[in-house]
Structure 1
Amino acid sequence: MNILVTGGAGFIGSHLVDGLVEAGHHVVVVDNLSTGCREHVHDQAVFYEMDILQKDELARIFANGAFDIVFHEAAQTLVPYSMEHPREDAELNIMGLLNVLELCRQFGVKKFLFSSSAAVYGDNVQVPLAENAPLQPTSFYGLTKVTAEKYIQMYHDVFGLSYAILRYSNVYGERQGSHGEGGVVYIFSDAIAEGREITIFGDGDQSRDFIYVKDVVRANMAAMDETAPSGIYNISTNIETTVNALKEILFYFSQTAVPVSYAEARSGDIYRSALDNALAKQTLRWRPATKLLEGLQQTYFYFAGRKQT
């Protein structure tokens, strides 16, 4: 199939492009490289350095691409940035989305897949949260994800555009940067590899549902199947891990420890997070395959190895 991946040079997007190319699909990547890396894009994918806000240029790519499927991974993903710059956050995460959605409608794309987030649920401690839990975002980033989901659902209701909304928990893995909700794994790994102090915002007992990036890729590829019904799916492990526990696991792998300081919790951050993945297991026939220790070990040694080269 002909597939477009926006944000395909980014952390999750580049892994997704790898999986799609290896499955035999023709893949086009659009990325403005604000946080993505050109060298992470598979050499068999067609790459355009472009912002999704450039609608005319994007329309030309759609006109030439005859895309069957569009994966929308391009986004502003930093919660603190969204709290300080809500307009810029909304411009990319909502107006950029609308550019892509409208072109999908105009050019007859068969299915649209969207990377949403656990941030839509807000600070709800009744974990694990299922897809029908109340949407109560505590950050502008989370608010843009809720708004985006509503637009996608309306494009389905009004124009018949099939979709899958994947609410990722905290994604981690190779190629990760400090951006995104799983960025703490990169930040800790990078600091430990360099012997620098770690700063934990809050008391460290806040929990996250860490999911390995290659399991997220598998979920996306399951959801793109024409037999997968349009809907919203949590993509997660259903397991809570505290930030303090994450720190200790990485200390164990590195066989070292660095100084740790604690700072005031950041505005917009949630305290507990774990998502119920039963619907994805049942409907998409997907389940996470990578245990946390295995995934963290691979991720830590990836970053530690980069420091040695």
Structure 2
Amino acid sequence: MKVIVTGGCGFIGSNLVDRLIKEGFETYVIDNLSTGKIEFLNPIAKFYQSDILDVQKMKSIFEDVKPNAVFHLAAQIDVQTSIHNPDLDAQINILGSINLIELCKTYKSKLIYSSSAAVYGTPLYLPVCEQHLIQPLSNYGISKVTPELYIRCYARLYNVKFTILRYSNVYGPRQMPKGEGGVISIFINKIINDETPAIFGDGQQTRDFIYVEDVVSANLSALKAEKNGTYNISTNKRISINELIKKINCILNKNIVPAYKQERIGDIDHSCLDNQLAKMELNWQPKYSIIEGITKTCQFNENIQ
């Protein structure tokens, strides 16, 4: 089976590519390397350096590959960038995705789209299920949910096969220690280097952190799914930011005290996604505990210091 991974040199994408190649898939990577790292590229994958906004080049790649499936992970992922540069955010996440959806229609490729918990906004209840109100708090959330609407429309109009995966907070090896989504990587990097990590608020806020290998497994499960669907990919477990710091300190045998700073406007207090639908319909479930995931991430980060 031929598969394309957009953003295949990025954090989640490169981990997915490694797994696809291990499983025997003929794997092609599209990445413009704006945030992806060429050193993360699996040498067995065929690489196309291209922007998903380059319509003609994308058409040429799809004509060359004729993929059975496309894993769409290329995205603008920084919330602050989406707020300060909404045009850029919309171009990459919305227009770039439309280009991919159109090509999937033309080449009858199944589309596995990486979405986000950001589409839900402030939870009205916990854990958040897929039927929760869609009310994004940021331009990023808007630009992640908009392609979902296009995908479902193309499924109705043109029979495009799809699976939409809404991730909770993903962490693991190769995540860059910057941006809001990479809080575990940021904390680990700071603590390894005996620097003081910053917590915005009192640290009692909770998140649902999922290890990258579990996200990779969810993508492979989505590839096998018989019907179209939208699924939360999460652990369905919450951990406070204070507890997270304690666990990282313990694993690294450190005792770094964080600096508490003023809570940021727009940050939600608690987040947790219900993963029951993915368990039932994708025959998937997370395997890594927070301790196992953090330990593996710490080992990776220590080795690249």
Specify the TM-score bucket, using the shorter chain as the normaliser: over 0.9
Is 1:79–1:268's contact at 8 Å kept on the other side of the alignment?
Answer: no
1:179-218 matches, within 5 Å, as 182-218=181-217
Cα separation, 2, equivalents of 1:141 and 1:166: 16
In the alignment, residue 295 of structure 1 is paired with which amino acid? G
Deviation at 1:203, TM superposition (A): 2.0
**1:296 is matched with which residue?**
294
Residue by residue over 1:204-231, the C-alpha shift from the partner in whole angstroms, topping out at 9 and shown as x without a partner, is: 1111100010011111001111x43101
Aligned to 2:304, the other structure's residue is in SS state helix
Cα separation, 2, equivalents of 1:181 and 1:117: 13
Deviation at 1:126, TM superposition (A): 1.1
Q: Is the deviation greater in 277-286 or in 171-180?
A: 171-180
Tell me, yes or no, if structure 1 residue 287 matches structure 2 residue 289: no
Is 1:125–1:271's contact at 8 Å kept on the other side of the alignment?
Answer: no
Gaps of 5+ in 2: none
In the alignment, residue 169 of structure 1 is paired with which amino acid? S
Deviation at 1:196, TM superposition (A): 1.0
Corresponding residue to 1:269 among 251, 267, 272: 267
Aligned to 1:269, the other structure's residue is in SS state coil
Cα separation, 2, equivalents of 1:181 and 1:19: 26
Residue by residue over 1:170-224, the C-alpha shift from the partner in whole angstroms, topping out at 9 and shown as x without a partner, is: 1111111135664001100111111111111222111110001001111100111
**1:84 is matched with which residue?**
84
1:2-41 matches, within 5 Å, as 2-41=2-41
1:126-205 matches, within 5 Å, as 126-178=125-177, 182-205=181-204
Aligned to 1:224, the other structure's residue is in SS state helix
In the alignment, residue 19 of structure 1 is paired with which amino acid? R
Q: Is the deviation greater in 227-236 or in 184-193?
A: 227-236
In the alignment, residue 294 of structure 1 is paired with which amino acid? E
Aligned to 2:175, the other structure's residue is in SS state coil
**1:242 is matched with which residue?**
240
Deviation at 1:125, TM superposition (A): 4.8
In the alignment, residue 298 of structure 1 is paired with which amino acid? K
Q: What is the aligned-residue RMSD (CA, Å)?
A: 1.2
Deviation at 1:305, TM superposition (A): 2.1
Between Structure 1 and Structure 2, how many residues are aligned? Answer: 305
TM-score by length of 2: 0.97
In the alignment, residue 115 of structure 1 is paired with which amino acid? S
Cα separation, 2, equivalents of 1:132 and 1:180: 28
Tell me, yes or no, if structure 1 residue 54 matches structure 2 residue 54: yes
Do the aligned partners of residues 239 and 184 (structure 1) sit closer, same or farther apart at CA in structure 2, a change above 3 Å counting?
Answer: same
In the alignment, residue 125 of structure 2 is paired with which amino acid? Q
TM-score by length of 1: 0.96
Cα separation, 2, equivalents of 1:152 and 1:8: 21
Is 2:164–2:229's contact at 8 Å kept on the other side of the alignment?
Answer: yes
Cα separation, 1, equivalents of 2:152 and 2:201: 36
Query: Taking every aligned residue pair, what percent have the same amino acid on both sides?
Result: 45
Gaps of 5+ in 1: none
Is 2:177–2:189's contact at 8 Å kept on the other side of the alignment?
Answer: no
Residue by residue over 1:259-293, the C-alpha shift from the partner in whole angstroms, topping out at 9 and shown as x without a partner, is: 42122233433221100000000011110011111
Cα separation, 1, equivalents of 2:51 and 2:264: 29
Is 1:125–1:273's contact at 8 Å kept on the other side of the alignment?
Answer: no
Do the aligned partners of residues 243 and 36 (structure 1) sit closer, same or farther apart at CA in structure 2, a change above 3 Å counting?
Answer: same
**2:228 is matched with which residue?**
230
Do the aligned partners of residues 179 and 288 (structure 1) sit closer, same or farther apart at CA in structure 2, a change above 3 Å counting?
Answer: same
Cα separation, 2, equivalents of 1:269 and 1:179: 17
Cα separation, 2, equivalents of 1:181 and 1:221: 26
Do the aligned partners of residues 179 and 87 (structure 1) sit closer, same or farther apart at CA in structure 2, a change above 3 Å counting?
Answer: farther
Deviation at 1:258, TM superposition (A): 2.5
Aligned to 1:220, the other structure's residue is in SS state helix
